[in-house]
Amino acid sequence: MDTQHTHDNAHDGAHRSGTRDDHDDTLRVLPRRTVLEQPAGCSGDPYPPLSRPQEFRAWFEREGYVLVRGAIPARLCQAGIDAFRADVIGDRLSFFERHVSGKFEPHHYTPAGYMKYPIMNLQDLASRRHAGFRRAGLTVLTHPAIQRALAALTGEPARCVHTMYFDGNQVTWAHRDGHYIDSGDDGGMIGVWVAAEDIHPDAGRFFVLPRSHRIHVPGEEVDPNSAAYKARMADFVRDGPLDCVAPVLRQGDMLIWSSMVIHGSLPTADERWSRRSFTAHYVPESQRYKWNVRSRKSERSIRFNRVEVMLHADDGTRAARLRNHVRAEWPRVYGAARTLWRRLSAGG
Ligand SMILES: O=C(O)CCC(=O)C(=O)O
């Protein structure tokens, strides 16, 4: 969620708060009566399989989300985690774009040593040191199983406009993605959350409010980065009329949701558990995508696994390329320059 609507780095996505206060009461979606592992009245998974595309799509359109078990091969998920562990988690110098702030920042760690704030837009990772992780992450997030599911839901190929990697739990506030970024046709963007490992139920599960894509939340028309927005959404999750479903996901499972479905992450109940996952947001290829919290839209893209993936850090100007290069390859120099700049700005 983006606090400055014209800021170039923001997703940003549901995706940018500008605050780091873990005890911020506006974020609290608990306690609520119940958090369900399955939709009400179901003892097992009720989700139609992809092999029955019409039912699959009808479920998604009605409920606003759908779950596909074992969609992504475990070895690809594991390769992503291994690359993260080998080259990224211990890298205390580098700056990564953060979902929570929309800014490039070094890691913060949870008490158990997990990366607290997810990395945003893996496709923009520019350093040679992170190339293995970037490749492994995009391999998961552009996997043919995802393409098949999106084609079943939209009837056409899809373009990836945003990605993330989670290690620990930032406690993502309840939101609709479409308030931050969406397809040209409002509500047409689709989110994909791939469990890169078996997610422990206490790790801060991803939750959705089934059918919320068709329900208005009183007062939701405010700045989606404001405390008021987060408070209204949290109140609605906690005390509203809809169920809250947080399925227990295993490695390779994939949850898919509409951009207007309210979702977020539960607080972590046991800090010992990570919640490693790759996420992406896709729009149908025939449609433009649009930011609702940014003034300028990225125009550049790459093809990965035959999928178009939008780049956000490279606007094609020499200045941006130089800045990206220095940030990626000489993080000490970038960090020193940034500190100096901040001091000068504060002094001035
Ligand atoms: O897993 C999370 O914490 C939230 C992810 C999310 O909100 C998203 O991908 O849109």
pLDDT of residue 136: 98
Distance 342 CA to ligand 1 centre (A): 30
Give exposure, 212-245, as e/b (b: 16+ Cβ within 10 Å): bbeeebeebeeebbebebbbbbbbbbeebeebbb
Atom index in ligand 1 nearest the CA of residue 175 equals 7
Residue position matching structure tokens 């496709």: 123
165 pocket-lining for ligand 1 (C-beta < 6 Å): no
Asked if 186 contacts 284 with a C-beta cutoff of 8 angstroms, the reply is no
206 pocket-lining for ligand 1 (C-beta < 6 Å): yes
Distance 292 CA to ligand 1 centre (A): 17
Look at the pTM and tell me if it is higher than 0.85: yes
pLDDT of residue 293: 77
Distance 190 CA to ligand 1 centre (A): 12
Backbone CA torsion sign across 119, 124, 127, 130: positive
Distance 172 CA to ligand 1 centre (A): 6
Residue position matching structure tokens 């479409």: 178
Residue position matching structure tokens 């977020």: 264
Asked if 203 contacts 277 with a C-beta cutoff of 8 angstroms, the reply is no
- Does CATH place domain 25-311 in 2.60.120.620? yes
Pocket test for ligand 1, best of 173, 230, 263, 274 (most atoms within 8 A of CB): 263
SS (HEC) of 183-207 = ECCCCCCEEEEEECCCCCCCCCCEE
Distance 6 CA to ligand 1 centre (A): 22
172 pocket-lining for ligand 1 (C-beta < 6 Å): yes
Distance 199 CA to ligand 1 centre (A): 14
17 pocket-lining for ligand 1 (C-beta < 6 Å): no
Tell me which H or E stretch contains 227. Answer: helix 227-239
225 pocket-lining for ligand 1 (C-beta < 6 Å): no
Distance 196 CA to ligand 1 centre (A): 14
252-261: pLDDT as tens digits: 999 999 999 9
Pocket test for ligand 1, best of 2, 197, 257, 265 (most atoms within 8 A of CB): 265
- pLDDT tens, per residue, the chain with 348 residues: 332 222 222 334 444 433 444 456 667 877 777 899 999 999 999 999 999 999 999 999 999 999 999 999 999 999 999 999 999 999 999 999 998 888 899 999 999 999 999 999 999 999 999 999 999 999 999 999 999 999 999 999 999 999 999 999 999 999 999 999 999 899 999 999 999 999 999 999 999 999 999 999 999 999 998 989 999 999 999 999 999 999 999 999 999 999 999 999 999 999 999 999 999 999 999 998 888 877 677 789 999 999 999 999 888 889 888 999 999 999 999 999 989 988 888 875
**Rg value, the chain, Cα:** 19
Rounded distance between C-alpha atoms, residue 71 and residue 10, angstroms: 30
